[in-house]
Amino acid sequence: MTGPIRFERSHDVVIAASPAAVLDYVSNPQSWREWMPATHDMDSPDRPMLAGETFVEKWATRQGEVQLDWSVTERIEGRCWVAEADTDFIGRIVARYEVEDLGDGTCRYTRRILNPARAKAPTAEMVARIDAEAAVCLANIKRNVEAAPRV
């Protein structure tokens, strides 16, 4: 028998917006239903969350509903946001959202999802589903942020 498996997936997209606008959007859990298909309920304030704050997400999965109790562990304005949740089904989930100013009115948004100690590696089919959902999420984020009025 092998020990726990570290699993990480990273996806990115270039968005025509400031890094601050992108990070503020994705770090506001109330926006997640707009861009993440699995999220169907959120208990959080309607604003970007700060380090030390917590919120609750309800996910619709193929096996039913899952509740994730998130804790924001890091926020660097206009650059990075990290939240973590413990689960019974895959262990700890770490969501790391990073933005990089590309200097031309755009930024690169990178969404990294990490499971530091899964009981077993995901199947190829699971990874394909993760990648497909990430593509939908990134397209939704790009569309929504670029369509928002600029302040």
Task: Report pLDDT digits (tens) over 24-82.
Answer: 999 999 999 999 988 888 999 999 999 999 999 998 777 778 899 999 999 999 999 99
Compute CA distances 49 → 30, 52, 55, 146, whole Å: 10, 9, 9, 21
Digit-coded pLDDT (tens) for 109-133? 999 999 999 988 899 999 999 999 9
Single-letter amino acid code for the residue at 29: P
Across 19-45, b (16+ Cβ under 10 Å) vs e yields: bbbbbbbbbbbebbeebbebbeebebe
6 pLDDT above the threshold of 90: yes
- The structural domains of the chain, ordered by start, are 5-147 (3.30.530.20)
3-state secondary structure of 118: strand
**Share of residues in the chain with pLDDT > 90 (%):** 77
Q: CA 41 from chain center: how many Å?
A: 15
Which tokens belong to 103?
A: 């200097």
What pLDDT does 1 receive?
46
Q: Model confidence over 76-103: pLDDT tens digits?
A: 999 999 999 998 888 899 999 999 999 9
